[in-house]
Structures are given as C-alpha cells and as structure tokens.
Structure 1
Amino acid sequence: MVTISLCMIVKNEEKVLERCLQSIKGIPDEIIIVDTGSTDCTKEIAKKWTPHVYDFKWIDDFSAARNESFRHATKDYILWLDADDVLLEQDKTALQTLKHSLQPQIDAVSMKYHAHFDTQGNVISSAFRFRLLKRERQYRWIGVVHEHIPVTEQDQTYQSNIVVTHQKENPQRSVRNLTIYEKYVAGGGTLTSHDLFHYGRELISNHRYEEAVDVFHKFLDSPDISDEMRLFIFNELASCYYFLQNIEQEHQITLQSLSYDMPQPVFCCRLGEHFLRQGKVEGAIFWYKQATQLPVSYSWTVDKKPFYTWLPHKQLGVCYEMKKENRQALKYYQKSLTFLPDDTEVQQKIQHLKKQMKKKK
C-alpha cells in the first residue's frame, strides 16, 4: 500500500474546506494546507484536521503556491484538491482501493474532473487531470493561472475511473484570473500556448469575445498544439462568432473542423442548427443524428456532454415536430428526458404531443 500526502492551497474557504476534507477522510496519511491570506476562519478549520498549516504570501501566481504545498509533502504520492472539490462516496471508495493496489512504478494518476453543472445538477463539462503524483519525481507546477503539471510521454501514467467533483458555493463569473493574466502580460510576461488557451477562455467568460478571437488565433499559430486542442479551440471560436452575431464565420470555422478529424458531436450540433435556421429540416436531422451516433471519446480537453446527450435528441424532437411526425418527435423528446429529466420545456412538449395524438385516435 502506498502512502499519500494531500496538498491544498486555500484562501477564505471557511464555507467549503470542512466539506472537502470530510469527503476524503481516512485516505491521506498527511494533510498539507498552504494558506495564501485568509481573513475568515479557514486556518482554524484547517488546524482541526492537520498540524501542517503554512502561510504563503499571495503573489498572483497559483503555481508558486501549489509548489509551496508540494514542498512540505513527505509521503509516497501527492494528491491535490481545491477546497471546493469533493469525492463522492463511490469515488472515495475507488481511491481507497487504488491506494492499496497502485503499482509503485506509476508516476502519475489521472482522474476525471466534473467541473460544471446545469441547474438540475447534470454534468455539462469535465476533463481529465493528473491528481496523484509520485513525490520522488519532483513534479513542478507551471503557469500563473490555470496552472498545470507537465507530465511527459516517458512518465508511467495510469488513467483511473475516479471522479473529483467541483461543488462551488454560489458560482458566479470572476475577473480574478483574467486580471492576473493581464497583470502578467503588462509586466512583460510571455504567454505559452497553454496560457493563450486559458486566457482566451477567461475572456469568453467575461463576454470579451472580440479579444478572445484574437487570442485564439494566436493559439492556433502555435507549433506545438495537437489536433484535439485545435478542434476544441475551433469550437470556442465558433461560440465567439455566434455571440458576435457573425453567423457566417461561425459556420466557416465549423466546416474547417471537418478537415482535421471525424465530425465531433459539438460541430454536428452546430451544423444541425445551421440547417434548422434555413428551414432545411432534413439536413438538420442528418447532423443531429450524427451527434447521437458518434462514439464517445475520452478527451483530455473539456468534455461538453450536452452535445452528445440531451441536446441533439431534443433538437431531433423539434425537427420531427416541424415535419408533423409526432411519434418520432415524441420518441426523441422522451430520449432527451433520460439525460435531462427536469427539462420543463420538453415535458410540456411531450404532454402537448400526447394530447394531439389522443385527439387523432
């Protein structure tokens, strides 16, 4: 059995820290908590769980803080979490099992991160991240914001089925990350392709779409990006053009994606919407069906689940309703509800269709 150091950085997390630590209780062999300037009861809560609570002056650099937390670890492997992360019961059990079975030659273990949810609690975006790292490999964080650990192809890695769930209290848009990026650039800092990727996404989060377009095009000029990352940014660009009401550019970037790989569900849905806007229902049906039939790949970029689950099925219901094919419309609306059961709009459409079909009997 391996030993584990849990390493965290915190600031004013009194509302969520206890919940996080409770969700993983009994698994870490030591807990390291680095506080970057809390003014609430965060440190007092942390000290109930561990004597290893350290102060670190915040310097607008997440990597510096995380590296400081790693510096204090003494066990075989380092697990990192944020204060608003939790392990659900099945994931806690899976991690406990992994702790007993992990082979010592493994350098880094990835876990899926459920990052964003809709109002009904359904996962809408997730991604893989390396969460458990062998301490003797001396991994270092890089990046002032959206920091990451550069695990190489030579490292021995293991992809687990463990999920870390993000449970942010009162989620709202923040300018913190964007401000750090802008301060870094103003101070002469150079943005890597990784930075450009996340800088553009922060601009989108703050509705600065024209600036995001410029940043994403710089990212696409980078020599070291994979087709997977390129396709992800094509979708981000398409979203920017949509919000800028440049529908033609949205369509062009969608078509461009097809030259790099087999159609992705998100682009199939965009093409379905393109045909639906023109009233070409058969074309829309073709592309929405493609979105439902494509194999689901396990991507390291953000996985946008709606585009291969409830959304294309709902839109197929719309299409068949437009064609007056009520049985087909009902079938797809009902399928949509299996993914998003609290969708009141679809529930109402189903009730309406059933009434219509009953009248025709």
Structure 2
Amino acid sequence: MVSISLAMIVKDEENNIKRCLDSVLGVVDEIIIVDTGSTDQTKKICSFYTDKIYDFKWIDDFSAARNFSYDFATMDYILWLDADDYLLPEDREKLIKLKETMDPGINTVMMKYATGLDLQGNVTFSYYRERMTKRALKFRWNEPVHEYMLTIEPILESDICITHGKIQTDKSSDRNLQIYENKIKNKEFLSPRGVFYYARELKDHDRFLEAAGQFELFLDTDMGWVEDNISACSELAKCYLMLNQDKRALACLFKSFIYSTPRAEICCQIGYYYQEKNDYKTAAYWFEFILTLKKPEKCWGFLQHDCWSYIPLIECAVCYDRLGNYKKALKFNTRALKEKPDSLSAQKNQRYLQDKVTSQQYKKKSQNQKIDSD
C-alpha cells in the first residue's frame, strides 16, 4: 500500500476547510497546511486535524506557495487540494482502493475536477488535473497563477473525482489580474499559458477589447495546448460578440475546428449565434449536428457535459417550435426531459408542445372533415 501526504495552501477559508479535511481524514497519511496570511479561524480549525501548519509570506506566486508545501511532505505520494475542494463518499472509497492497489511505479495520477454542478448534483463542468505525484521525483509547480506541474509517465488516469465548490461564495476578486498586470508592469515575461489565462482574467473583468487582443496573441504563438487553443477560440468569440463584431466571433468558433474535431461546446455557441439572428433553420442544423458527435473519452480539457446532450435537445425543440414543426419539437423536448426529468424548462415545454401538437392535429382533422362534407 502506498502512503499519501496531503499538501494544501490556504487563506481565510474557515467556511470551507472543515468539509475538505473531513472528506480525506483517515485516507491520507499526513496533512500539511501552508497558510498564506489568514486573519480568520482557518489555522485554528486546521489544528484539529494536523500539527503540520506552516506560514508562508505571500509573494503573489501560487507555485512558490505550493512548492513550499510540497517540501514538507514525507510520504510516497503528494496529493493537493484547495480548501473548497472535497471528496464525495464514493470518491473517498475510490481513493482508499487506489492506495491499496496502485502500482508504485506510477508517477502521476490524473483525477477529474468537477467545478460545476446542477441543482440535482450532476456534474455539468469538469476537466482533469495532475492531482497526485510521486514525492521522490520532486515535481515542481510552475506559473504564478493557474499553476501546473510538468510530470512524466507512467501516468494513471483515475476515475476519482474531486468536487469543487465554496460553501460561502466570495465576491469576485481581481487578485489574479493584479498579479499578471504587476508582472507586465515589471516587464516580466508571460509564457503562452500565462497569456491565455491573463486573457481570461481580462474577459472576466469585462475588458473585452484587451482580452481579445491577448487571446489573439496566444493563438498566434501556436504554442498552446490543444485544449487551451479550443477554449481560447470559444472565449475570443464571446469577446467579439460583446464588442458587436459578430462575423469575427463566428470566424473564431469555426477556427476551433483547426485544432481538433468539432466540440459540442463550440457548436452550441454557433447554434446560439444563429438563434440570435432568428435563423432557426441553421441553428437547428448545428444543434442536431451535436447529437451526432461522440464526447471525447480521453480529454483532459474543459467539458460542459450538458452541451453534449440536454442543451442541443432542448434548443432543437425551441428551433422547431419557432419553425412551426411542433411534432418534431415535441420529439426533441421529450428526449431532453429524459436527460433531465427535473428540468422545469423541459417540463413547461412539454406541456406547451403537447397542446400545440394536439391543437394542430385537431385542426387538420377538422379541415379533412370539411373537405369530405364538401
């Protein structure tokens, strides 16, 4: 059986840290907490779980803090979590089993990161992260923001899922944006990955023109990870739509097809583009096209799961309703309702479309009867 050190960096997480630590208590063999300046009860709460609590003076560098936490690890493998991450009971059991059965020759364990859930707890947004690494190989974190590790094979793609979500939602922060802009002010180099995430921060702060320029710069480097390239096309299109440059937005979406086979997330954006133009025939084409696509099985990038099933089904229903084909609209909405039986939108649509189809059938029957009588 392998042993695991949990290494965390935290700050002012009194509302989240207990849930996180409870979910791994008794599974990990060591808990290391690096605090970057808490002023609440975070450290006190952590003290009930471990005595390995260390202070780190914040220097606007997440990688530096994570590497500092890794330096204290003593077990075979190091697992990282953020304070607002946790394991559901089924994933806790999977981690216990992994400890018992894992080949010690594995260098890196990838785990799904579920960062979006619907009201029923179904995962709507996820991607994979390098989550657990062999301590002896001394892998290091890179980048001051949106940090990552360069690891080496053998890599295990685990079915363990880390769930993310704050118990108490914080107000939007400009911390990450300030880190990037301080680097630029100090004439420090931004890697292609840094440019990509800087662009995302600009977009999230409604600085769409600047964000578009940075996304274009990132794509022009031709050095990005394929999944980041696809995401950049998607985000760039959103920026251009906000700037009322519709054709450029559509061109960005089609540009994503250069990097890989069409993704449902992109095709949904194309469908919505034509819906906004009231071109429901073309919109329906793209939403139906999604239903022919196969969700990538070996994809570590961003996946919006509803875009591969529920969304195209319910939007097909909307499009065919607008086109007056109520029978076809009802067919798609029925499928959407099977995907999400608790969807209030699909339930409302179902009643509306059933009435439309019934009314249409009655009207047709009445017309036929009139023709016969004549």
Relative to the length of structure 1, the TM-score reads 0.93
Measure the CA separation in 1 of the matches of 2:253 and 2:222.
21
* Residue pair 2:145, 2:176 contacting (<8 A) in 1 also: yes
* Structure-2 residue corresponding to 1:248: 247
* Residue pair 1:173, 1:206 contacting (<8 A) in 2 also: no
Measure the CA separation in 2 of the matches of 1:15 and 1:300.
30
* Deviation at residue 225 of structure 1 after TM alignment: 2.1
1:242/1:43 CA distance change after superposition, 3 Å: same
What amino acid does structure 1 have at the position aligned with 2:99? K
* Structure-2 residue corresponding to 1:158: 156
Measure the CA separation in 2 of the matches of 1:263 and 1:284.
16
* Residue pair 1:3, 1:99 contacting (<8 A) in 2 also: yes
Measure the CA separation in 1 of the matches of 2:195 and 2:352.
47
Deviates more, 1:325-334 or 1:289-298: 325-334
* Residue pair 2:237, 2:248 contacting (<8 A) in 1 also: yes
* Deviation at residue 227 of structure 1 after TM alignment: 3.5
Q: Deviations over 1:84-138 (max 9, x none)?
A: 0010111111111111111011100000101133566543321100111000000
* Structure-2 residue corresponding to 1:189: 188
* Structure-1 residue corresponding to 2:87: 87
* Residue pair 1:113, 1:163 contacting (<8 A) in 2 also: yes
What amino acid does structure 1 have at the position aligned with 2:223? D
* Structure-2 residue corresponding to 1:284: 283
Q: Secondary structure at the match of 1:162?
A: strand
What amino acid does structure 1 have at the position aligned with 2:205? N
CA RMSD of aligned residues (A): 1.9
Measure the CA separation in 1 of the matches of 2:225 and 2:145.
21
Measure the CA separation in 2 of the matches of 1:65 and 1:34.
7
* Residue pair 1:124, 1:305 contacting (<8 A) in 2 also: yes
Measure the CA separation in 1 of the matches of 2:8 and 2:248.
43
What amino acid does structure 2 have at the position aligned with 1:200? A
* Deviation at residue 352 of structure 1 after TM alignment: 1.3
* Residue pair 2:227, 2:302 contacting (<8 A) in 1 also: no
* Structure-2 residue corresponding to 1:324: 324
- The size of the alignment, in residue pairs, is 359
Q: Deviations over 1:256-309 (max 9, x none)?
A: 223443222123223323443444433322211111220101322211223212
* Residue pair 2:124, 2:306 contacting (<8 A) in 1 also: yes
* Deviation at residue 222 of structure 1 after TM alignment: 1.9
Percent identity, please. Answer: 39
What amino acid does structure 2 have at the position aligned with 1:164? I
Q: Secondary structure at the match of 2:354?
A: helix
* Structure-2 residue corresponding to 1:29: 29
Q: Secondary structure at the match of 2:12?
A: coil
| Residues 140-219 of structure 1 mapped to structure 2, 5 A cutoff | 140-152=140-152, 155-171=153-169, 172-219=171-218
1:226/1:54 CA distance change after superposition, 3 Å: closer
**Gap runs ≥5 in structure 1:** none
Measure the CA separation in 1 of the matches of 2:274 and 2:255.
17
1:120/1:89 CA distance change after superposition, 3 Å: closer
Deviates more, 1:118-127 or 1:88-97: 118-127
1:249/1:170 CA distance change after superposition, 3 Å: farther
* Residue pair 1:178, 1:203 contacting (<8 A) in 2 also: yes
Q: Deviations over 1:4-37 (max 9, x none)?
A: 0011111111111111011112111111011111
* Structure-2 residue corresponding to 1:265: 264
Deviates more, 1:87-96 or 1:194-203: 194-203
* Structure-2 residue corresponding to 1:18: 18
Q: Secondary structure at the match of 1:224?
A: coil
* Deviation at residue 340 of structure 1 after TM alignment: 4.2
Measure the CA separation in 2 of the matches of 1:227 and 1:80.
25
Q: Deviations over 1:29-62 (max 9, x none)?
A: 1110111111111111111101111111111111
**Gap runs ≥5 in structure 2:** 363-374
Measure the CA separation in 2 of the matches of 1:134 and 1:79.
9
Q: Deviations over 1:203-252 (max 9, x none)?
A: 12211111111111111122422443322211111111122221111111
